[in-house]
A = this chain, B = another copy of it.
Amino acid sequence: MPKTSHATSGCAIARGLDLLGERWTGMIVRDALRGIDRFADFVAELGIAQDVLTKRLNALVAAGVMERIPYQEDGSRMRYRYALTPTGRQLATALASIGDWAAAHLPVDGGSTSHFVEAATGQRVRAALVTDDGRIVAPVDAQLVVPSAGS
């Protein structure tokens, strides 16, 4: 067993990090949310090595986050592109919360940063913790509950 995997851990955070905590994976999903879907474009945008991109895309497809879709431009042969599945699009919340946190706590000189908006209204949206009855809870007032065993 060359590399530690938490894919079968009882902790959902561990399982999620097994994907997103891997180098490049989060950036690939971010670009996919921006509409990028072609192998060569991911390479150009991210500067990722091609063999690594192949592995990551395969992992994302295997996890049900992305799917490999054939397409054909006129006057070209059939090729493949990679698009987020509904499951993958749900990761928007996770990426938004990471982005919101970084915007607040890892500032950088150049002002404007990326953010999410509601498509219908253009209104800015942020990630927050909410109760089932719609109350917003500050992160400080939240507590992590782990059923029993740790890892």
Contact = CB atoms under 8 A, between A and B. Distances in A.
A-side binding surface: helix, strand, loop or mixed? mixed
Interface in A113-145: 113-121, 123-132, 134, 136-137, 139-145
A101 B95 CA distance: 11
A25, A27, A46 pick with most chain B CB within 10 angstroms: A27
Please state the number of chain copies in the assembly.
2
Nearest to A24: B21
A86 B142 contact: no
A90 interface: yes
Interface of A: 4, 6-17, 19-27, 30-31, 33-34, 45-47, 63-64, 86-87, 89-106, 108, 110, 112-121, 123-132, 134, 136-137, 139-148, 150-151
